[in-house]
Amino acid sequence: MMNTMTTDELTIAIAVPLEAEYVEQIRAVDPSVTVLYEPDLLPPERFPADHAGDPRFERTPEQDERYWSMLNKAQVLYGFPNESPAGLARIAESNPRLQWIHAMAAGAGGAVKASGLDPETLRKFHVTTSAGVHALPLAEFSAFGILNGFKRSAELAQDQAAKVWPELRTPTRLANGSKVVIAGLGEIGMETARIARALGMKVSGTKRNVEAIEGIDEVTTNDGLAGLVADADAVVNTLPGTPYTEKLFSTGIFSAMKPGTVFVNVGRGTVVDEDALLEALNNGQVSYACLDVFAVEPLPRDSPLWSHPKVLVSPHTSALSAAENRLIAERFCSNLRKFIDGEDLPHLVDPVHFY
């Protein structure tokens, strides 16, 4: 669906916490755009880019009525209402004027799916994601995970905690000249590849549509992943969670890796069979796993990943940075200009496959 509205009709509502300076940037995109922003109706942020805001925040019935009235006046929303799938479902039903919602997350497909809206309803408006905004922090975290594995940081921390000075010094591995496989050569994957190449690593990876990519040694679909990982020193997953990627990293893929492979996951937890990963950690196929995402979040307290000596557990925070709100607002402003000019919007959520 292309935008056919005239700009003098366009109203945008800010549905999630956002600093006033970035609201002004949105207003400045076009003088004919009206931006509805009532900060007293939005929960305070507990930290930078806390899009859901303080969970203790509650609107009075009068405030809640004002909040939804504001959202129902808009054709464009900045953020999901209440930053939740339920909020998305409610606005889709109550606002027939709705044309476009910009999501704060890079992987908003899961929330769209969780809303329970049918494809016909979802085709009535666009949902765009903030994909790309998080590419640099995720890529840096991926490099951090690889280097942790190569430089034996887990073992060093254990020795330090036990005040052990080993009699024999153990060598570490060089990133330079090693091979990394990146499952998912999208924006996050390509930024990870850029940093890996800067460290002197050789990069291969997977992409839905196979094509030659400058600086990437080999590109296959996910069907060729087992062949790629066979001689990899490190493997990074950046893939979204979809029916096509669920438990892609299975016993078969981990078994195809050479012993001692470092594994990093900054994509979605559902892409990894965690039982298969634990088996690979215990038999040495994987020497170290740096995990920011999990099949169930928060990670259940009884998960053996918490206490595994070769695992770093990160609570799905690797994409966060102090600059996130600014970067998302800049992305939204760029998209808004395209929307006003009738151009196609980037990073649309597929209403059928949810990526």
Maximal CA-CA distance, the chain: 75
> Rounded distance, CA 115 to CA 17, Å?
21
Token pair of 2 as six digits: 């292309």
**Alpha-carbon torsion, ordered 318, 320, 323, 325, to 10 deg:** 150
> Rounded distance, CA 122 to CA 354, Å?
11
Catalytic site positions: 268, 297, 316
Instruction: State CA 18 to chain mean position distance.
Output: 19
Contact residues for 191 (Cβ-Cβ < 8 A; gap 6+): 135, 136, 138, 139
- What is the gyration radius of the CA atoms in the chain, in angstroms? 22
> Rounded distance, CA 68 to CA 56, Å?
19
- Contact at 8 Å (CB) between 276 and 267? no
**Alpha-carbon torsion, ordered 347, 330, 84, 292, to 10 deg:** 80
Which one, of 56, 40, 49, lies nearest residue 317 by Cα? Answer: 49
- DSSP states of 167-230 as a string? SSPPP---STT-EEEEE--SHHHHHHHHHHHHTT-EEEEE-SS----TT-S-EE-GGGHHHHHT
- Contact at 8 Å (CB) between 30 and 340? yes
**Residues listed for the chain:** 355
